[in-house]
Amino acid sequence: MSVRRLLLALTFFVILSSSAFALQPPAGQSEFVPVDSVPVADQLPAAPLLVTAYSFVWLAATVYLWSIWRRLNKVEDEMKALAQKAPRR
Amino acid sequence: MRRVFGPLAALTGLMFVGAPFMVARAPYESSMGLVQKIFYFHVPSWFAMFTAIGVCGVASLIHLFRNSPRADRIAEAAGEVAVLFGLMGLVTGPLWGRKAWGVWWIWDAKLTIALLLEMTFISGILVRKYGGPGSDKLAAAVGIFGLAVVPFVYEAVNIWRTIHPLTSVVPTLPATMGGPFWFCTAAYMLLLVVLLMMRVNLGKRQAALDELYLAYED
Are the C-beta atoms of residues B170 and B181 closer than 8 Å to each other?
A: yes
Amino acid symbol at A22: A
Angle between helices B39-66 and B135-159 (to 10 degrees): 140
The structural domains of chain B, ordered by start, are 2-217 (1.20.120)
pLDDT tens column, B140-187 = 999 999 999 999 999 999 898 888 999 888 999 999 999 999 999 999
B183 Cβ partners below 8 Å, 6+ apart? B15, B18, B19, B22
What was the ipTM of the complex prediction?
0.91
Distance in angstroms between the alpha carbons of the first and the last residue of chain A: 132
Torsion B107-B109-B110-B113 (CA) sign: positive
Answer for the pair B117, B150: CB distance below 8 angstroms, yes or no. Answer: yes
Please report, for chain A, the start and end positions of each structural domain, with discontinuous segments joined by +: 46-89
Neighboring chain B residues of A53 at a CB cutoff of 8 Å: 38, 41-42, 91-92, 95-96
Task: Centre a 10 Å sphere on the Cβ of residue A65 and count the other Cβ atoms it contains.
Answer: 16
Chain B positions touching chain A (beta carbons under 8 Å)? 16, 19-20, 33-35, 37-38, 41-42, 45, 81, 84, 87-88, 91-92, 95-96, 98-99, 102, 191, 195, 198-199, 201-202, 205-206, 208-209, 212-213, 216
Which SS3 state, helix, strand or coil, does residue A15 take? helix
B83 and B76 Cβ atoms separated by less than 8 Å:
no
Out of A78-82, B181-185, B194-198, which region has the weakest mean confidence (pLDDT)?
A78-82
Render pLDDT for A1-37 as a digit per residue (tens, 0 to 9). 578 888 888 888 887 777 666 666 666 777 776 676 6
B33, β-bridge pairs: B29
- Mapped onto helix, strand or coil, the DSSP state of residue B13 is helix
Task: Determine the residue among A42, A44, A51, A54 to mutate to test chain B binding: the one whose Cβ has the most chain B Cβ atoms within 10 Å.
Answer: A54
CA distance B146 to B124: 9
Number of C-alpha atoms within 13 angstroms, CB side, residue A23?
6
Nearest residue to B203 (alpha-carbon basis) of A62, A70, A72: A72
Question: pTM, whole model, 2 decimals?
Answer: 0.83
Residue B11 neighbours by CB distance under 10 Å? 14
Per the prediction, chain B carries an average pLDDT of: 94
The rounded distance, in Å, linking the Cα atoms of B187 and B180 is: 10
- Preferred mutation among A35, A44, A49, A68 to probe B, highest tally of B CBs within 10 A: A49
CB contact under 8 A, A58 and B202: no
Supply the pLDDT for residue A88.
57
When pLDDT is cut at 50, 70 and 90, the band that residue B16 belongs to is very high
